[in-house]
């Protein structure tokens, strides 16, 4: 009896050992077969939230591992452009925008966003945003959030000075308000605006300002227009205003830096992306959440092109070896359930805006985000096909939709930032920028 029991026990141990080995081997094989998806994104708050919440995606998809590369905006653009143009294949998912998606898609550098699952509900995505990420009717990126631009202001500071912000202010009115609101002894600056050099940093804002003053980058024959009276007035009033009523070191401030200044109570006004509204109204992120008012982006001689249209979107380079896994992740990060996930984690005011009709139809969103209808209208009325008062040969409100723009746009941004820092005059900055823009389009064969 004892002998039979011992034999049975030995068999049981052997069977258990074999099972353990099999499980270990299976686990190792599963780990080895997990697809690693490398994702390059900008370091804005909404993207950091996506990275945080991505643990939920990995939990639901144990066969996919996410590798994050989070970069400052200008650096991301440089890295993504270098990667896509050289075909080096460093990234499986890239965060790009309404400038890159149609151009890179047209050149065959991006995988089309086709055959999406029915529950993704592509028709729910706002049409102007879909169109901005498409070329020839093919969609090349899915929007994570979309935005226009608007004016934010401190209601309490306006009330204290007996001032009233009109729904549609002019730049002249903004300058008058800034003069009255600046109180440097209290650490409050009348206005905060982008000064950091970059085609998507200071030039995104400044192009809408130039548009509002009746200016344009090029005439119909692709001759650069940066030395015209419209450009000179738009840029010189900007530099004068920032020197008089802006914060110190403004030439280093981009979106994130100004968001910090505004949310910590240092700015009386800020003109920038509508996406900032959710952050400024979030009491966990903003010290002035209950004091923020909003109005349209300023106009001057025209409303044409006075507010931009942009989408930060996720795209898959053709060089990615993880096409299916990358597409699955993008579908998750831009889908309806992700918006619900952010609402649960951060509150409805902080969900990624500007992408889905269903978001703007939600009673919870409308209640938490008093700016929601205003933002939706701003996005729907920005017109990239008619961005200026006078006719132009290009599309794009706050950028020129040609491949060469990111190069000469950044050169112009550096010159204007130099003028803001007092390193050169506005006339010198615009003359240098005009020469760079003219040279770029002439060499590329646009001028006939």
The domain spans of the chain are: 34-140+310-368, 149-307+384-443
Q: Which residues pair with 338 in a beta bridge?
A: none
CB contact at 8 A, 107 and 340:
no
- Structure tokens, 19: 């099972």
Which alpha helices (DSSP H) does 246-369 contain, by range?
Answer: 255-263, 276-280, 323-333, 336-346, 357-361, 363-368
pLDDT of residue 18: 44
How far is the C-alpha of 89 from the C-alpha of 70, rounded, in Å? 17
What 8-state DSSP symbol labels residue 387? -
How far is the C-alpha of 438 from the C-alpha of 448, rounded, in Å? 12
Per-block average pLDDT, block size 10, for the chain (448 residues)?
38 42 42 84 96 98 98 96 96 98 98 96 97 97 98 98 98 98 97 98 98 98 98 98 98 97 98 97 95 98 98 98 98 98 96 98 96 96 96 98 97 98 98 98 94
pLDDT of residue 396: 97
CATH for 149-307+384-443, among 1.10.10.10, 3.40.640.10, 3.40.190.10, 1.20.1090.10?
Answer: 3.40.190.10
How far is the C-alpha of 145 from the C-alpha of 65, rounded, in Å? 23
Decide whether 34-140+310-368 matches 149-307+384-443 in CATH topology: yes
How far is the C-alpha of 367 from the C-alpha of 221, rounded, in Å? 49
Please state whether 108 falls in left (phi above 0), alpha (psi between -120 and 50) or beta. left
Size of the chain, expressed as the number of residues it contains: 448
At the second CATH level, the architecture of 34-140+310-368 is 3-Layer(aba) Sandwich (3.40)
pLDDT of residue 448: 79
- Structure tokens, 443: 């060499």
Query: For the chain, how are helix, strand and coil distributed in percent, rounded to 5?
Result: 50, 15, 35
How far is the C-alpha of 231 from the C-alpha of 253, rounded, in Å? 22
pLDDT of residue 32: 52
- Residue 328, phi then psi, degrees to nearest 5: -65, -40
How far is the C-alpha of 134 from the C-alpha of 138, rounded, in Å? 5
pLDDT of residue 2: 38
Residue where the block lists tokens 């001759």: 223
pLDDT of residue 3: 39
- How many CB atoms are closer than 10 A to CB 214? 20
pLDDT of residue 15: 43
Q: Which residues pair with 311 in a beta bridge?
A: 146
């Amino acid at each position: 009896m004892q002998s039979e029991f011992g034999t049975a026990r030995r068999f049981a141990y052997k069977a258990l050992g074999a099972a353990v080995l099999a499980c270990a081997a299976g686990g190792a094989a599963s780990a080895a077969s997990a697809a690693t998806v490398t994702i390059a994104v900008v370091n804005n708050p909404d993207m950091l939230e996506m990275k945080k919440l991505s643990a939920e995606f990995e939990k639901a998809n144990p066969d996919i591992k996410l590798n994050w590369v989070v970069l400052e905006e200008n650096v991301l653009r440089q890295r993504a452009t270098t990667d896509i143009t050289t075909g080096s294949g460093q990234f499986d998912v890239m965060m790009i925008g309404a400038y890159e998606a149609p151009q890179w898609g047209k050149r065959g550098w991006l995988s089309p966003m086709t055959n999406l699952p029915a529950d993704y509900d592509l028709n729910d995505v706002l049409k102007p945003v879909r169109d901005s990420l498409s070329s020839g009717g093919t969609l090349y990126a899915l929007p994570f959030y979309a935005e226009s631009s608007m004016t934010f202001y401190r209601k309490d500071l306006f009330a204290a000075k007996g001032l009233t912000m009109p729904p549609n202010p002019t730049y002249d009115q903004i300058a008058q308000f800034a003069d009255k609101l600046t109180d440097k002894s209290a650490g409050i600056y009348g206005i905060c605006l982008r000064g950091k050099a970059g085609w998507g940093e200071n030039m995104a804002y400044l192009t809408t300002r130039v548009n509002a003053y009746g200016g344009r980058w090029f005439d119909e024959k692709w001759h650069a227009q940066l030395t015209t009276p419209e450009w000179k007035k738009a840029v010189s009033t900007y530099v004068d205003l920032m020197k008089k009523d802006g914060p110190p070191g403004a030439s280093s401030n981009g979106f994130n830096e100004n968001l910090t200044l505004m949310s910590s109570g240092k700015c009386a006004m800020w003109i920038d992306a509508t996406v900032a509204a959710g952050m400024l109204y979030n009491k966990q992120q903003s010290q002035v959440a209950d004091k923020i008012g909003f109005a349209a982006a300023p106009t001057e001689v025209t409303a044409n092109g006075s507010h931009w249209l942009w989408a930060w979107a996720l795209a898959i380079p053709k060089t990615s070896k993880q096409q299916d896994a990358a597409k699955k992740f993008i579908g998750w990060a831009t889908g309806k359930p992700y918006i619900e996930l952010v609402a649960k984690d951060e509150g409805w005011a902080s969900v990624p805006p500007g992408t889905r009709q269903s978001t703007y139809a939600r009673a919870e969103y409308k209640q938490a985000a008093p700016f929601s209808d205003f933002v939706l209208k701003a996005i729907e009325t920005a017109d990239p096909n008619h961005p200026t008062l006078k006719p132009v040969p290009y599309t794009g409100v706050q950028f020129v939709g040609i491949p060469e723009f990111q190069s000469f746009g950044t050169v112009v941004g550096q010159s204007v930032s130099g003028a803001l820092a007092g390193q050169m005059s506005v006339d010198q900055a615009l003359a240098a920028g005009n020469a760079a823009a003219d040279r770029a389009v002439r060499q590329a064969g646009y001028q006939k």
